[in-house]
């Protein structure tokens, strides 16, 4: 019996449309999505199984196969450019419509922001089996390359009558971070996903989801990302997995794909980089290496520390394209009874060269000082352990003046004395 086994089956992905955009999906044989779902969509590879959810009619169309790897703007004019993360699709047999789709996806724990794991893909495929075909015939048909013209069955089927969906115990989906929506980011682990990002034993290693969030907000696939002080290479691992080009330097490289360089002079042309991430030393609190030019040997209680970091900022400004973004991670210092506002001082220097996009508070986790002993000391001797870092998101000015009418703010004032039911 020839059967598509769980091992050999490709993973799946659900794309969405509305009544308005559905026709274009079928006419173009193209599925597309926008930024919030792009990280999962861009993982689609040729041969993956795809399904189309109509959010208005609550119908799940299947089965399709990806006829290409996902790419940006395969057809830039599709949906007036609203859904640029796209994949070409190929119908597999007659397309079936399953109703109550959102409930089905909830039961199978399928979300559009994650690839569908093999077990849940298999379960979905079973539901689309034509009634006149045996399971093994169906799976053989699915595994053949074939090319079927688009034909959509008129009738909508109820998945509850097609299989015992509730009994499935799905394996966790591939772990992908989510796009953060607020200015408070708290990641429980340094890394995510199937492979390590950077080395979580490296002193001062960056939480990988910070870099992931920045590149998905401010760059597109194939854009060039640079990290001039990249330590254990977290930026390289995140960027490679997300299809960005990446160049990383450090004064003392820890692996062959990191170039040796002092970040006060970066060997790249001006206006050539799409995004920069810097997690610089915060002072001389961590021993990174023995290199004499390591800025991490200079105390953040001295002005020299900020002057040397300013040289790095100037270089970042030079190599970054106008209008593009630099993310700079930094924390304050409290040592032997003295507080140093390292974050404020670094921010002040950054504003000499960049406009501020936003300031993010990053919860500090996994710190050596986050132990019962130090918590006890902090309370007994009346000081605070560092609980957060700053992520300054800065933009190289594009030179275009801000249009005044764009800045007209219409605040909606609420009167506390008015009853809740009074229309405002
Ligand atoms: C906080 S660590 C970066 C951690 C890194 N993002 C990671 O995830 O592993 C700061 C890095 O700055 C590097 N560094 C210090 N001075 C430097 C300089 N002058 N040029 C380039 N890198 C430097 C250190 O070697 C160290 O690896």
- Per-residue model confidence as pLDDT tens digits over 175-209: 899 999 999 999 999 999 989 999 999 999 999 99
In a domain, 423, yes or no: no
Taking CA atoms only, the protein residue closest to ligand 1 atom 12 is 229
Pair (210, 287) in one structural domain: yes
pLDDT for res 144? 81
Residue 65 zone, left/alpha/beta (φ > 0; ψ -120 to 50; rest): beta
The model's confidence at residue 397, banded by pLDDT at 50, 70 and 90, is very high
- Pocket test of ligand 1: the residue of 192, 206, 236, 251 to mutate, having most ligand atoms within 8 Å of its CB, is 251
If DSSP codes are grouped into helix, strand and coil, which group holds residue 172?
A: coil
Q: How far is the CA of 338 from the centre of ligand 1 (A)?
A: 25
If DSSP codes are grouped into helix, strand and coil, which group holds residue 380?
A: helix
pLDDT for res 293? 97
User: End of a domain among 112, 136, 167?
Assistant: 167
Pair (157, 188) in one structural domain: no
Query: 238 CB less than 6 Å from ligand 1?
Result: no
Burial of 50 (0-12, 13-18, 19+ CB in 10 A): buried
pLDDT for res 4? 52
Pair (278, 246) in one structural domain: yes
pLDDT for res 5? 54
- Per-residue model confidence as pLDDT tens digits over 234-252: 999 999 999 999 999 999 9
Q: How far is the CA of 263 from the centre of ligand 1 (A)?
A: 9
In a domain, 22, yes or no: yes
If DSSP codes are grouped into helix, strand and coil, which group holds residue 138?
A: helix
Tell me: pLDDT of 400 over 80.
no
Q: How far is the CA of 389 from the centre of ligand 1 (A)?
A: 16
In a domain, 6, yes or no: no
Query: 204 CB less than 6 Å from ligand 1?
Result: yes
Which of these, 157, 147, 164, 63, lies nearest to 107 by C-alpha position?
Answer: 164
> Residue 23: which CATH number?
3.10.590
Pair (279, 369) in one structural domain: yes
Instruction: Give the CA count within 13 Å in the CB-facing half-sphere of 157.
Output: 19
pLDDT for res 339? 96
Pair (366, 231) in one structural domain: yes
Query: 296 CB less than 6 Å from ligand 1?
Result: yes
* 84 Cβ contact partners less than 8 Å away, ≥ 6 residues apart: 32, 34, 72, 73, 76
8 A C-beta contact, residue 355 and residue 315: no
| Alpha carbons 293 and 242: distance in angstroms, whole number | 32
Query: 285 CB less than 6 Å from ligand 1?
Result: no
Q: How far is the CA of 384 from the centre of ligand 1 (A)?
A: 26
| Alpha carbons 419 and 378: distance in angstroms, whole number | 46
pLDDT for res 168? 56
Q: How far is the CA of 280 from the centre of ligand 1 (A)?
A: 6
In a domain, 176, yes or no: no
The model's confidence at residue 169, banded by pLDDT at 50, 70 and 90, is low
HEC readout, 382-409: CCCCCCEEEEEEEECCCCCCCCHHHHCC
8 A C-beta contact, residue 161 and residue 100: no
pLDDT for res 141? 85
Pair (156, 296) in one structural domain: no
In a domain, 248, yes or no: yes
pLDDT for res 209? 98
| Alpha carbons 74 and 85: distance in angstroms, whole number | 8
8 A C-beta contact, residue 56 and residue 18: yes
Give the range of the structural domain holding residue 76, as residue numbers without chain letter.
Answer: 12-167
In a domain, 178, yes or no: no
Residue 206 Cα: closest atom of ligand 1: 8
Total domains in the fold of the chain: 2
| Alpha carbons 385 and 363: distance in angstroms, whole number | 12
Pair (204, 118) in one structural domain: no
Alpha-carbon distances of 415 from 64, 342, 408, 418, rounded to whole Å: 54, 40, 22, 6
Q: What percent of the chain has pLDDT over 70?
A: 91
8 A C-beta contact, residue 362 and residue 388: yes
Query: 203 CB less than 6 Å from ligand 1?
Result: no
Pair (90, 218) in one structural domain: no
Q: Which residues pair with 13 in a beta bridge?
A: 50
Taking CA atoms only, the protein residue closest to ligand 1 atom 27 is 231
Provide the token pair at 105.
């996806």
Taking CA atoms only, the protein residue closest to ligand 1 atom 20 is 262
pLDDT for res 2? 43
Provide the token pair at 258.
């990191």
User: End of a domain among 107, 137, 167?
Assistant: 167
Q: Which residues pair with 390 in a beta bridge?
A: 330, 361
Provide the token pair at 341.
């506002």
Which of these, 50, 60, 48, lies nearest to 106 by C-alpha position?
Answer: 60
User: End of a domain among 133, 167, 201?
Assistant: 167
In a domain, 414, yes or no: no
Pair (225, 159) in one structural domain: no
In a domain, 4, yes or no: no
Alpha-carbon distances of 409 from 106, 139, 215, 357, 359, rounded to whole Å: 40, 58, 29, 18, 21
Mean pLDDT, the chain, rounded, equals: 91
- Pocket test of ligand 1: the residue of 189, 192, 214, 250 to mutate, having most ligand atoms within 8 Å of its CB, is 250
- Pocket test of ligand 1: the residue of 296, 316, 389 to mutate, having most ligand atoms within 8 Å of its CB, is 296
Pair (225, 290) in one structural domain: yes
Instruction: Determine the Cα angle at 231 with ends 225 and 234, to 5°.
Output: 55
The arithmetic mean of pLDDT across residues 313-324, rounded, is 98
Compute the 3-state secondary structure of the chain and give helix, strand, coil in percent, each to the nearest 5. Answer: 25, 25, 50
- Per-residue model confidence as pLDDT tens digits over 331-389: 999 999 999 999 999 999 999 999 999 999 999 987 777 788 999 999 999 999 999 99
- Per-residue model confidence as pLDDT tens digits over 63-106: 999 999 999 999 999 999 999 999 999 999 899 999 999 999 99
> Residue 391: which CATH number?
3.40.50.150
pLDDT for res 424? 46
Pair (275, 344) in one structural domain: yes
Pair (64, 155) in one structural domain: yes
Instruction: Give the CA count within 13 Å in the CB-facing half-sphere of 308.
Output: 18
């Amino acid at each position: 019996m020839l059967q598509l086994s769980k091992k050999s089956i490709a993973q799946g992905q659900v794309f969405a449309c509305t009544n308005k955009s559905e026709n274009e999906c079928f006419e173009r044989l193209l599925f597309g999505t926008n930024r919030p779902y792009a990280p999962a969509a861009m993982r689609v590879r040729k041969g993956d199984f795809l399904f189309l959810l109509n959010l208005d009619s609550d119908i799940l169309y299947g089965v399709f196969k990806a006829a290409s790897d996902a790419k940006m703007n395969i057809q830039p004019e599709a949906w007036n450019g609203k859904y640029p993360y796209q994949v070409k699709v190929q119908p597999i047999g007659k397309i079936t419509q399953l109703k109550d789709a959102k409930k089905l996806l909830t039961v199978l724990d399928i979300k559009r922001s994650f690839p569908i794991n093999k077990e849940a893909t298999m379960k979905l495929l079973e539901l689309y089996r034509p009634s006149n075909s045996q399971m093994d015939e169906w799976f053989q048909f699915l595994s053949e390359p074939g090319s079927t013209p688009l034909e959509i069955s008129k009738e909508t089927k109820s998945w509850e009558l097609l299989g015992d969906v509730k009994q499935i115990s799905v394996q966790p989906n591939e772990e992908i971070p989510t796009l953060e929506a607020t200015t408070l980011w708290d990641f429980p682990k340094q890394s995510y996903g199937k492979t390590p990002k950077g080395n979580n034993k490296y002193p001062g290693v960056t939480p990988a989801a910070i870099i992931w969030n920045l590149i998905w907000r401010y760059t597109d696939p194939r854009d060039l990302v640079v990290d001039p002080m990249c330590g254990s290479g977290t930026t390289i691992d995140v960027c490679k997995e997300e299809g960005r080009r990446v160049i990383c330097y450090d004064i003392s490289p820890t692996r062959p794909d990191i170039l040796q360089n002092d970040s006060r002079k970066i060997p790249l042309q001006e206006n050539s980089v799409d995004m920069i991430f810097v997690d610089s030393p915060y002072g001389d609190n961590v021993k990174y290496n023995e290199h004499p030019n390591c800025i991490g040997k200079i105390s953040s209680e001295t002005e020299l520390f900020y002057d040397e970091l300013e040289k790095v900022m100037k270089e970042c400004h030079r190599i970054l394209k106008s209008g593009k973004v630099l993310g700079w991670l930094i924390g304050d210092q409290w040592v032997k009874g003295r507080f140093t506002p390292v974050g404020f001082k670094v921010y002040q220097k950054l504003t000499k060269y960049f406009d501020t996009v936003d300031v993010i508070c990053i919860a500090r986790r996994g710190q050596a000082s986050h132990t019962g002993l130090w918590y006890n000391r902090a309370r007994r001797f009346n000081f605070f352990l560092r609980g957060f870092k700053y992520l300054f998101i800065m933009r190289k000015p594009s030179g275009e003046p801000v249009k005044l009418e764009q800045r007209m703010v219409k605040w909606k004032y609420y009167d506390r004395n008015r009853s809740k039911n009074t229309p405002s």
